[in-house]
Structure 1
Amino acid sequence: MAKIIEDLQTNSVTGWLDEHAQKLEHWSTEIWNYAELGLHEFKSSKLLADQLENEGFTIEMGVAGMPTAFVATWGTGGPVVGILGEYDALPGLSQKLVAKKEPVIEDANGHGCGHNIYGVAAAGGAIAAKNYMQKEGIAGTIKFYGCPAEETLVGKVFMAREGVFNDADVCLTWHPNSINSLWASSSLAMNSVKFNFYGKSAHAAANPETGRSALKAAQLMDIGVNFLREHLIDEIRIHSTITNGGGGPNVVPDKSQIWYYIRAPHRSEVEETYEKLINIAKGAALMTGTEYDIDFITGCYEMIPNKVLESVLFTNMEKVGAPSFDDDDIKFAEELTETFDKGMKEVVVKTSGAPSELLKKVLHDEVIAPYDKGKCMSGSTDVADVSWNIPTAQFTTACAPIGTPGHSWQNVASVGSAIGKKGMLSAAKIIGLSVVELMEDDNIIAQAKEEFDAEMKQKGGYISPLPEQLKPPVPAVPAV
C-alpha cells in the first residue's frame, strides 16, 4: 500500500510538471530577458506572483518594506511548508544564447547566478504540490516566499528581521549549479559597510596646508585594515573598494568613501572584526583631522543546514534522478567549456570540494551524495538568515557544464538554454515531492524542529544583524 501511495504522489506531482514544462520554461525565459537587478525586479516578481495567484494562492506584495518581495499562500492549517524563490540578476553580464561572449546589450544585466530558473522551479514545485494536496484532500499550508536582492544579501535578511518566515514550520530551497547533490555546507557570515570620511577642500598646490583630505583618511583606513589581517584567523575575508576618491588631483578631496565586505565562518567573528574596523576608522579620522560616519548596508549569518530536511530532499532527488540531457545539450556544453580559461574547470571543481572524477564529465548525469558536509563555502547567502529562524535545507541540480564559473557570461548562457531549463524542471519535481512528503508525515517536521531547537540552544538564537532603524534601500517605483 505504501508503494502505491508513493507512486501516486510521484505520478501526480511530476506528471503535472511534465505536462506544464513549456509553461515553466516560458516563465524562466521571460525573467531571463527581464534581467532585473535586486530590488528592481518589478516585472519578474509580478510574473511569479501573478502565476501563483492564477493557481489559487493568496498574494501579499511589498512585504518587509520591499515592493518586489512577496508571500504567496495556499491552504489552511498545519503543517506549514515554506519555499524560497529568487529572481534578481547581476550587472554587466548581458549575454546571448551562444558559446562566445556576445552581450544582448553592452554592459546590461544578465542572470549569471541562474535566478531566472531558481524562482520558477520553486513556484512550479509549489503549484504541483498544491494540486496534489487539493486532489487528495490533504490539509496543510504552502507558503512561497518571493525573495528579492539575494545578490546584495538584502532581501531575506530584511524579511527575517520582520518575522516574515516565522509562520512556517520548515523551509525548502535549491540553487542552480553544475552538480546534482545536496547543498550541505555552511556559508560565510558577512557585513557590507561603507565608511564615509569628511574633510576640507583646498587647492592641492597653492595652499594644501588648509585642506583636510578625506581621501587620505580612506587610504589610511585601508592601510590599517591591511595590517590587521595578520591578526585575524585565516578564514576571515575583508575586501574593499574606494567608491569615492575625489574629483581631481588638483583639489584636496573633502569627501571619500570606502566600502568593505567583512566575511567570517561565524556571525560573532564578523561582529568582532567589524568593531576593529570601526576603531581603525576612528584612528584614520584622527590622523587626518577629518570626521567619519558609517552606512551599514546589510549583514547576514552563516548557513545552518537541517539534516532531517536534507534527507527528505535527497530521497526525492534520487527518485527524480538527474536532468536528461540530449546530444544538443552536450554539444552546447562542450562549446561553452572550450571558452573557459585554462585550468578554470579544475579550480571551480576543487574549490567546491566536488569529487575530482567529475572533471571527466561535461554535464552531470547522476545524483551524488553530498560532498560538502561540515565544510564552509567561500561565499555568503541570505538563505542563512532563514536557517536561523526555521529549519531549512537546500539542494542543487545541474544547470550548466561542470566547472562553469559562477557570475560569468557562460553561466548566463547556460541557465537561459535547454540545459538550465532541464535542471529547473528536475528541481521543481524535487521540491514538489518533498513538500508533499512533509505534508503527509508530521513526524519528519517534528524531528526537523528538534534538530533546529538543539542548534539554537547551542548557538544562542537569532538576533538580526541589521540596525533597528535601517530600512531596505528600495528604489523609486517606476511609473506604469
Structure 2
Amino acid sequence: MTKDTIHERIEERRTDLVSLTRELWENPELGLQETESAELLATRLADEGFTVNRGVGGMPTAFVASYGNGGPTIGILGEYDALPGLSQKSIARKEPVDEGGPGHGCGHNLFGVGSLGAAVAVKEAIERGDVDGTIRYYGCPAEETLVGKVYMARAGVFDDLDAALTWHPSHVSAPWKARSLAMNSIEYSFSGQSAHAADSPESGRSALDAVELMNTGVEFMREHIIDDARIHYSITNGGGAPNVVPAEASVWYFVRAPTRKGVDRITDWLDEVAEGATLMAQTTVDRRFLTGCYDYIASDTLSDVLLSNMRDLGTIPYSDADRAFATELQETLDESTIENRLSGLPEQRRAEAREQALYSNPMESFDEGTVLSGSTDVGDVSWITPVAQFWGAAWPVGTPSHSWQAVAANGDFAAKAAVYAAKVLAGTAYDLLSTPSIVEAAAEELRSTRSHDYESPLPETAEPPADMGVN
C-alpha cells in the first residue's frame, strides 16, 4: 500500500467520515461529559481492529486505541468536546438548535473524526505489511478546559511515543509552529460567617469580601508581571441574598505565561494574595488546583513533513455551493473581526485570502517565532514526544473560533476539511513509519530544544474537574 493508496482508502470512506462528523455535531457534549461521542469513536476503532483502553487518566471519556507491534510508535491525537451556549443551526443567521445548549464552535467534531480516518488508514498499511510499527489514536476529552491531555500525560500514556501528530480546524491551512502560553487553573473558595447584613453585620465575616479583596490585589499585581503573562478570573459563587452576609464565596483563576516556571512564579504570588485577603476579611480559604498545562513546542522536523503532505494534496475541494454558503456566513462578520484574523498572515497571503470566502490553499507556517495568547494541552504532549500539528481551512476567511458562524460551518461544508486532515495525517504518519530516521531527527531536535524533562504540573491529589467550564 503506497501513500496514494492510503489517500484512496480515505476517499472511499468519505461518506462515512462526513456522516461521523455530522453525528458528533448533532450531539454536542461538554468536556468530561462526552459519553456518546467517546463511545462512538472508540467503538468504531475497536470494530476496525484496534485494541481500545478506555477510561485512561481517571476520565471515563478518555481512551487510547492501538494497532501494531514494535516501533516506531506514532500517535494521532483526537478531540471531541463541545462548548457551552453555542448551539447553532447550519444556516447563515444566528439561530440555536437548542437555546442555551452546547455547540461545536471549535470544530472538535471534525478534529476527532479526521484523526480517526487517518489512524484507520495507517492501520491498514501496517496490516498489509507495507510499513512496520504501531499506530495509536488518542481520544482526548476536555481540551476546552485544558484537562484531557494533562491528566493523560500524568498517567504516562504518551511516554513511549516516538512522535505525535494532530490538527485543528481554522480559517486557513498551514503548519502550526507558534508557541502557546503555559497555564494554571485554580479555584479559591473562601469561608466566613453568615449573619443578618442589617441587624447584626458585626457578627458576620463575608467570604465575598475576601473574594473581592483578592481580586483587587490581583489588579495591582498586573503592573508587576511580564507583558506576555495573563491573569483572568470569574466569580463562581458570590453569595445569595443581599441581606445575608455570605459565608461561602469562590473565584476561579487562570494564570498564563510563556513558560511553566513563569506560571508557577505568578501562581505563588496569587496564593499569597489569597492568604492576604483572608487576613483582611477574617476568613479562611481552600485552594483547588484544577489543571495546568505546558507551553507548546512545535517540531520543525515533523512540521516540514506535514507541510510536504499538505502541498502534495493541494487545496481542499470545496464546491461552488460550499463557497456560496461560506460567503453568506462571512457577510455576518464585522470587517474588523476579519481583518484581525488575517493580520498575522504574510502580506501576499493576506491579500489572496481577503478576496475569497474559503481559502484552503496550503501555505507555509505564518506563526513561527510567535507566542499565541491562548493555551493548549497539546503543549504537555510536545514536552514528552516530538509533536507537529496544522491548521485546516474549515471556516470562512476571518471566522473566529468559538463563534456561531464556526458552528454553522462545522455542521456543513467543513466536514471536507476533516477528510483532508485524515489524508494529511495518514500520509505524514506513513512517512514516519517508513523512514525512521525522520523520527530520530525529531527526537534529537526535541532534546536540544526543551530546557528540562517533562514533569506533570498537576499535584498528586488533583482530580479531573468535571464540574468546571471552558477556557
TM over 0.5: yes
Post-superposition shift, 1:131? 1.3
Q: Determine if contact 1:133/1:436 at 8 Å carries over to the other structure.
A: no
Secondary structure of 1:182's aligned partner:
strand
Which of 355, 360, 364 matches 2:359? 364
The yes-or-no answer on 1:424 pairing with 2:418 is yes
Q: Secondary structure at the match of 2:213?
A: helix
Q: Relative to 1, partners in 2 of residues 1:409 and 1:155: Cα closer, same or farther, differing over 3 Å?
A: same
Query: Does structure 2 retain, via aligned residues, the 8 Å contact 1:85–1:144?
Result: yes
CA distance in 2, matches of 1:137, 1:426: 22
Paired letter, 1:366: N
- Per the alignment, do residues 132 and 335 of structure 1 end up closer, same or farther by CA in structure 2, a change over 3 Å counting? same
Structure 1 residues 341-352: aligned runs within 5 Å: 341-350=334-343
Aligned residue in 1 for 2:148: 155
CA deviation string 1:14-73 (max 9, x = no partner):
100111100001111111111011111111111111111111111111111111110100
Separation in structure 1 between the aligned mates of residue 129 and residue 310 of structure 2, nearest angstrom: 23
Alignment partner of 2:222 out of 226, 229, 248: 229
Which residue is 1:115 aligned to? 108
**Structure 1 segment 80-159 matched on structure 2, within 5 A:** 80-159=73-152
1:352/1:64 CA distance change after superposition, 3 Å: farther
CA distance, structure 2, for counterparts of residue 10 and residue 76 of structure 1 = 20
Q: Is the contact between residue 169 and residue 392 of structure 2 (CA under 8 Å) also seen in structure 1?
A: yes
Task: Check conservation: 1:143, 1:168, Cα contact below 8 A.
Answer: no
* SS of residue matched to 2:288: strand
Partner of 2:186: 193
> Which residue of 1 is the match for residue 430 of structure 2?
436
Match of 2:459 in 1: 467
Equivalent residue letter for 1:429: K
Corresponding position of 1:323:
316
Alignment correspondent of 2:173: 180
Structure 2 Cα separation of the partners of residues 292 and 77 of structure 1: 50
Report the equivalent of 1:216. 209
Residue 217 of structure 2 aligns to a residue whose secondary structure is helix
Q: Confirm or deny: 8 A CA contact 2:344 2:366 kept in the other structure.
A: no
Q: Secondary structure at the match of 2:128?
A: helix
Structure 2 Cα separation of the partners of residues 240 and 265 of structure 1: 19
Runs of 4+ aligned residues of structure 1 deviating over 6 Å after TM superposition are none
Is the CA contact 2:122–2:430 (under 8 Å) kept in the aligned structure 1?
A: yes
| Distance in 1, Cα, partners of 2:458 & 2:384 | 15
User: CA separation in 2, counterparts of 1:265 and 1:58?
Assistant: 37
Preserved CA contact (<8 Å) 2:161 2:385: yes
Amino acid in the other structure paired with 2:431: E
Q: 3-state DSSP class of the match of 1:150?
A: coil
- Displacement of 1:137: 4.1
Cα contact 1:180–1:398 (8 A) shared by 2: yes
Contact 1:352-1:377 within 8 A present in 2 as well: no
1:362-401 alpha-carbon deviations (Å, 9 max, x no partner): 1113111101001111111000000011111101111000
Q: For 2:466 and 2:274, how far apart are their aligned partners in 1? A: 28
1:265 alignment counterpart: 258
Partners of 1:198 and 1:255 within 8 A in 2: yes
Give 1:156's aligned amino acid. K
Q: After alignment, is 128-137 or 184-193 more displaced?
A: 128-137
How many residue pairs get matched?
A: 465
Q: Is the 8 A contact 2:191 2:207 kept in 1?
A: yes
Secondary structure in 2 matching 1:388: helix
User: Over aligned residue pairs, what C-alpha RMSD do you find?
Assistant: 1.3
**d(CA) in 2 for partners of 1:246, 1:137:** 63
Q: How many angstroms apart in 2 are the aligned matches of 1:261 and 1:167?
A: 31
* CA spacing shift, 1:60–1:353, aligned 2, 3 Å: farther
Q: Once the 2 structures are TM-superposed, how far is the Cα of residue 293 of structure 1 from its aligned partner? A: 1.1
What code does the residue aligned with 1:411 have?
A
8 A contact 2:330–2:396 mirrored in 1: yes
**Cα shift readout 1:176-216 (whole Å, capped 9, x = no counterpart):** 11111001101011111111111111111111111111111
Secondary structure of residue in 1 paired with 2:149:
helix
Matching residue within 399, 410, 414 for 2:409: 414
1:236-268 deviation digits (Å, cap 9, x = unpaired): 111111111110111111111011111111111
Query: Could you tell me which of 47, 52, 67 is aligned with 1:59?
Result: 52
Shift of 1:352: 7.1
After superposition, the Cα gap between the structure-2 partners of 1:257 and 1:166, relative to the gap in structure 1 and judged at 3 Å, is: same
1:136 Cα shift?
A: 3.7
Taking the aligned partners of 2:346 and 2:308, their CA distance within structure 1 comes to: 22
Change beyond 3 A, Cα 1:159–1:377: same
For residue 380 of structure 1, the aligned residue among 347, 356, 375 is: 375
Question: Distance in 2 between the 1:286 and 1:427 partners?
Answer: 54
CA contact (8 A) 1:12 1:132 kept: no
What does residue 5 of structure 1 align with?
Answer: none
Identity of aligned residues (%): 48
Asked if the contact 1:199–1:213 (Cα under 8 Å) also holds between the matched residues in 2, the reply is yes
Indicate the residue corresponding to 2:449 in structure 1: 455
Q: Tell me what 1:48 maps to.
A: 41
Residue 370 of structure 1 aligns to a residue whose secondary structure is coil
